């Protein structure tokens, strides 16, 4: 699995970075989910190695412009590119009105099935491989964080042992691989769970929207393999950050430490910070949580 940061800025784009958009891609299938869609996201998409035809779900954290102003353009360009596969967009109440109004007053349309689902904290979706859930954050308007949990993968089926015990090969092997029981023609009942190796633990990921400190963050990011958190401002500007519903470097790192996360990727930096400032922001995070990395536009991280 990979995370591609299409934009890492907060508030407004700058010459150093675009505004927020993060793509989550399954390595084998290439299927992609997009988290937020700030202005210019479709241009960043084209600059990346992502494939537009593999994008089928978009999750919006909140309705501030730096997280949604790229959405109408991306959706309409998808039609112009001839893509006909369904698209579903999830996000807080008001998202449907925003998209439908933008398309209607601009005379735009989509000629593929488009579904907009307004959600709230506590919502979950399970596609059989991943479970994603929405969590309430502490911002100036309703804002969500998303926790992605990959289901554990069953262990390998011990085919040599089955053969040694006289279990013939057949379509029932698929059932045994799932840990199910099958009844053979000779009446024997074979429990697949008895022939499976250790399961492989699924990966977990937390993607935060904009937020000032909140205790909910510790549940959202509990023991995750990778945590993505905004670090809009440096530690010395804590009052300004929190007053506007944002977090500082030290506050993001403290969440990662207390939640037991394995890695932290910091993003959503104020446009006041130039390339020369980033090492200082990273150093602040690492005083609290050493396993911190800073995102930058078009960076790809492997999970």
Residues annotated catalytic, as ranges: 66
CA distance 149 to 23: 16
Sign of CA dihedral 52, 206, 123, 99: negative
Q: What one-character-per-residue DSSP string does 36-94 give?
A: ---TTHHHHHHHSS--GGGEEEEE-S---HHHHTTHHHHHHHHHHTT--S-EEEEESTT
Q: For tokens 């393999």, what's the residue?
A: 225
- The helices-and-strands tally (H runs, E runs) of the chain is 10, 18
CA distance 20 to 245: 16
Q: Which two tokens stand for residue 144?
A: 């969500």
CB atoms within 10 A of CB 12: 13
Helix (H, G, I), strand (E, B) or coil at 209: coil
CB atoms within 10 A of CB 144: 26
Spatial contact of 119 and 91, defined as CB atoms under 8 Å apart:
yes
CB atoms within 10 A of CB 145: 27
Residues in CB range of 10: below 8 A, 6 or more apart: 19, 20, 66, 210, 230, 232, 246, 268, 269, 270, 271
């Amino acid at each position: 699995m990979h995370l591609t940061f299409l934009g890492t800025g907060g508030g407004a784009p700058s010459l150093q970075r675009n505004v927020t958009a993060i793509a989550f891609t399954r390595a084998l299938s290439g299927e992609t989910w997009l988290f937020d869609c700030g202005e210019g996201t479709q241009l960043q998409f084209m600059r990346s190695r992502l494939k537009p035809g593999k994008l089928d779900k978009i999750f919006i954290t909140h309705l501030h412009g730096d997280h949604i102003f790229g959405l109408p353009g991306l959706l309409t360009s998808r039609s112009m590119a001839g893509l006909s596969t369904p698209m579903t967009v999830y996000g807080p109440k008001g998202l449907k009105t925003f998209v439908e109004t933008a398309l209607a007053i601009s005379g735009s349309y989509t000629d593929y099935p488009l579904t907009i689902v307004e959600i709230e904290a506590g919502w979950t979706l399970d596609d059989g491989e991943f479970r994603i859930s929405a969590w309430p954050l502490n911002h100036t308007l309703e804002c969500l964080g998303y926790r992605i949990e990959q289901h554990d993968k069953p262990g390998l089926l011990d085919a040599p042992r089955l053969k040694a015990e006289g279990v013939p090969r057949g379509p029932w092997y698929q059932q045994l691989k799932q840990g199910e029981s099958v009844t053979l023609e000779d009446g024997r009942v074979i429990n697949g769970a008895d022939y499976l190796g250790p399961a492989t633990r699924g990966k977990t990921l937390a993607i935060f929207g904009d937020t000032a400190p909140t205790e909910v963050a510790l549940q959202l990011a509990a023991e995750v393999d990778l945590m993505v958190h905004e670090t809009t401002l440096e530690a010395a500007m804590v009052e300004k950050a929190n007053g506007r519903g944002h977090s500082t470097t030290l506050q993001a790192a403290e969440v990662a430490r207390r939640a037991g996360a394995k890695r932290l990727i910091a993003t959503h930096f104020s446009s006041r910070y130039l390339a020369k400032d980033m090492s200082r922001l990273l150093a602040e995070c690492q005083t609290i949580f050493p396993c911190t990395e800073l995102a930058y536009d078009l960076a790809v991280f492997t999970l």
